[in-house]
Amino acid sequence: MKLLAGFSAWLARQDVPLDLLGEEHADRFLTELGLRPRRGDAWSVGQLVRYLRDSGVPVQLPEVDTSAKGQLIDAFGEFLRTERGLSASTLTNYLPIVRGFLDEQFGGNDPDFDRLRVGDVHRFIVRRA
């Protein structure tokens, strides 16, 4: 109950209206908690979000990016989750960096990896460090 009360207070501080509440908010809350989450914390907060959705409280689903870049990022995220075992909260942190790199390199165009060079990756990483 203490965890869910904390989630509720966090939502109020973040000014997240219930109709925009999504599972990504639960992931962000747990990440920003700053403590090592206990077993079951993610499940408990996720259950609250699912309960609200099932109770008829409109919960916004994230928009799906159907562009080639969006599909590439989704596929990479799925690879990291299934093959590398990364958690949803880790992907929440990693994938925006991947998107930033692709946006910087290719703008609004479809990714063309034949144009990509090692130096492009190196410069991006150095700027982010």
pLDDT at 36 over 60: no
Note the pLDDT of residue 1.
56
DSSP string, 66-129: -SHHHHHHHHHHHHHHHTS---HHHHHHHHHHHHHHHHHHHTTSPP-TTS--HHHHHHHHHHH-
Q: Smallest Cα–Cα separation from 97: which of 117, 81, 121, 79?
A: 121
Residue boundaries of the structural domains of the chain? 2-54, 68-128
pTM: 0.53
Tens digit of each residue's pLDDT (9 = 90 or more) over 47-77:
777 777 777 766 555 566 778 898 898 889 8
